[in-house]
Structure 1
């Protein structure tokens, strides 16, 4: 199923669902960030996805990282909250979602890197190389906030 992301676009379709989601900035030993090229859009993104009933937001981030990358992680911090109503995601099945995302930091504690059906490529990327990658600006914003080493989480 393909997806299209809109931002501040008056022609974007109207949302018909609200999804709570979590993502994670996962680092390797060299301080590089784990990114995936999404199968549904072809864009680079942090691992993450929608929260399931019965799980916490940190638990969601841990599960999504495992499902999408094969790695086991533990949550180490909070990058921020991302709730901008101008960000709309439309799927080919008719779902048009407004999503709010909590972005965590995480460290690898096990597992083996493995591509899932949700991605076509996984890569650890130096923070300085991220601006050259094709990604939605909402993903880039989370990475900019991480790289800025803010004194507190972004609340937006």
Structure 2
């Protein structure tokens, strides 16, 4: 039996381990016609998030966002804009396989705006335990990591793209 993959996110924690890599990722902020936000519950840490994943060689940031959303939720999206670029060194992610640390990553995330253009909600069980459309006023009822909540709150502000 294979050992589970685990992800541990640190935020502004002086006891967080030192990063061993810095990699680009893309997250996708998607709202429906009623203003609800697309969230998924991660399979590796049980936290709620927006679709997010690493940029692969040979793909653009926009292609990554579309791919990750489709893989994690089953929905096809069209990129409509930029929420911002998030690179706070206080966000550190530890990826583990069983008890072995595979990587300690300091992410650089490009958060894109998108709208659904097709597909059906069908979470990939390796990535997401469930997918929901969530009313903005109910966000506090969900366990969302502060780094992800910052992206969501920035997306809700509808201001010019944020860069850190």
Shared fold by TM > 0.5?
A: yes
* Displacement of 1:89: 0.2
3-state DSSP of counterpart to 2:33: coil
Looking at structure 2, the residues matched to 132 and 140 of structure 1 have their Cα atoms a distance apart, in angstroms, of 12
Looking at structure 2, the residues matched to 149 and 51 of structure 1 have their Cα atoms a distance apart, in angstroms, of 25
Can you give the 5+ residue segments of structure 2 that lack an aligned partner in the other structure?
none
Looking at structure 2, the residues matched to 141 and 3 of structure 1 have their Cα atoms a distance apart, in angstroms, of 19
Can you give the 5+ residue segments of structure 1 that lack an aligned partner in the other structure?
none
Give yes or no for the alignment of 1:120 onto 2:138: no
Aligned twin of 1:75: 79
Give yes or no for the alignment of 1:28 onto 2:32: yes
What do you get for the CA RMSD once the two structures are aligned? 0.9
TM-score (norm 2): 0.91
Looking at structure 1, the residues matched to 154 and 123 of structure 2 have their Cα atoms a distance apart, in angstroms, of 26
Q: Deviations over 1:9-43 (max 9, x none)?
A: 12111111111000111122212110000011100
Looking at structure 2, the residues matched to 139 and 35 of structure 1 have their Cα atoms a distance apart, in angstroms, of 11
4+ long deviations beyond 6 Å: none
Aligned twin of 1:147: 156
- Residue of 44, 51, 55 corresponding to 1:51: 55
